[in-house]
Amino acid sequence: MIVQFARKEEPQLPIKPKKEAKWVLPIGLILIVELLLLLPSSLTMEAKWSLFAFCCAVILWTTTSINSAYIALGVVLFLIVTGTAKQDILFESLASDIVWLMIGSFILGGALQVTGLAGKMTNLVVGRAKNVSSVFTLLTVVIQLLAFFIPSTSGRGAVLLPVFQSLTKELGSRRVTKAMAILIPTIILVSTSSTIIGAGSHFIALDMLKEFSGKSISFVEWLIWGLPFGIVASFISCRVVLMLFLDKEERKKKLAPKQTTFALSRNEKYTLGILAAMVLFWLTERVHGMEIATVTVIGAFLLTLPEVGVMKWKDGVKAVSWNLILFVGAAIAIGKSLIETGAAQWIMEKLFSFTAYLDGNSTFMILLVLVILSLTSHLYVTSHTTRAVIFVPPLLYFASSLQLNEVAVLFIGIVGMNYCLTFPVSSKALLLFQEGERETFQPRDLLKLSAYLSVIHIVLMVAFYYGYWQWTGLSL
């Protein structure tokens, strides 16, 4: 009996310290953040609590395997209990347009799957690809083109989500699924700089530029400056994703040739018609005034109409990733807390305080500071539009104080702000493709990607300035 008891106890010895050790890093980092925030500063107590909660969420997302939605919800509840945020902040966030956009997009994706239309769309891509690497390259081309037709990162994500779901089902690999889930929103965001209609924040920034200096950037000028950068950045990003998340054998895995039939059934025609109408309404948002989220929900409603639609309502609801919906709502609430408590504004002021020591004649240092400040802005202001509202005014005053070209400063700043790949909450497109804990990617995967791409982006922007932008009228 003694021998048997010893055998049972022996394998448990290495397990206990291992379980304890995995909490050392997150707890240690949280304590460090708490100690730093205890130092005297101009921050209000609410702003400190908000910053502490945000840092805790980031630490737990990246160092533990706890469900991301559970962490985000817990952080919001912490903000409410401490009195930092009102109780309504969570409920209002769940009523956000991105939440309804995602619900509608999932139902649209379910309809494309049920009718088989997603499979045919997939075969159009896969049929021309020889291996996994070429599939990723073709997707990069398609996403780049979509930037000229759908003026919203979330709108482009909504169109591509059903294609992604069908492609990953066809390829049948968890690692390829994760890599593709990261690739699509990455290219969506990186290619945003290619065109003036790539994001709504572009128009907000241009309006501020006109009010501040009377200057503007035309569609053609933006195309000349942005398209070459967008293309180069997109294909570099594609290669980085392939190298980081797939090994050589997975990248070179050959695909079986597919034959696509263009004969469409009644349900396929109906679904395609609804999808085409949705894209048309997305493109003409300024004319009719209905937002992308509203149009998407209307499309989902029509696809589930009794006797007319292509699927039952309850099946459409089942297609929604409710875990992700809760994560998005909680994450939006965290972002609102940072802004409402003044924590985000405090960070911006601290960052721009360093610019007072810059010499107006040191173009390289000015450029480097501008690139780094704009590229890291997504870390503390999670909304793309809000970043433009908060970041552009001090950016223009920065240009004026050093007698710089406001157009050049604004454009370079916008290109930097379009990079928002470090955390899922930094972009709606990222949230749209983070479906579940096992199916797609985790926050730590984005952190890994951003560790490489952020440096590449900085180098690329500096190289573009000296090698192209300053010679085409974008000199500081």
Tokens of 115: 């009718």
Q: What pLDDT score was predicted for residue 437?
A: 43
CA-wise closest residue to 274 among 130, 143, 126, 162 = 162
Q: What is the arithmetic mean of pLDDT over 405-434?
A: 83
Is residue 16 predicted with pLDDT exceeding 50?
Answer: no
d(CA 110, CA 128): 25
Asked if 461 and 371 count as a contact pair (C-beta separation under 8 A), the reply is yes
| Terminal Cα-to-Cα distance of the chain (whole angstroms) | 82
Q: Calculate the alpha carbon distances from 176 to 44, 119, 164, 263 in Å.
A: 46, 17, 11, 30
Backbone phi, psi, residue 308, to 5°: -115, -40
The model's pLDDT over 357-394, given as tens digits with 9 standing for 90+, comes to: 665 567 888 888 888 888 888 876 666 766 776 677 77
Tokens of 134: 């070429």
The model's pLDDT over 402-417, given as tens digits with 9 standing for 90+, comes to: 778 888 888 998 899 8
The model's pLDDT over 63-118, given as tens digits with 9 standing for 90+, comes to: 777 877 788 889 899 999 988 888 888 888 888 776 787 788 778 877 877 887 76
Confidence of residue 122 (pLDDT cuts 50, 70, 90): low
Q: How many CB atoms lie within 10 A of CB 292?
A: 25
CA-wise closest residue to 67 among 448, 449, 434 = 434
Confidence of residue 262 (pLDDT cuts 50, 70, 90): low
Q: Calculate the alpha carbon distances from 278 to 85, 258, 300 in Å.
A: 36, 28, 10
Confidence of residue 13 (pLDDT cuts 50, 70, 90): very low
Backbone phi, psi, residue 131, to 5°: -150, 180
Residue predicted with more confidence, 284 or 227: 227
Confidence of residue 5 (pLDDT cuts 50, 70, 90): very low
Q: How many CB atoms lie within 10 A of CB 174?
A: 12
Show the DSSP H helices in 147-253 as ranges. 153-171, 174-190, 200-213, 219-245, 248-251
Q: What is the pTM of this model?
A: 0.67
| Burial call 183-193: b when 16+ CB within 10 Å, e when fewer | bbbbbbbbbbb
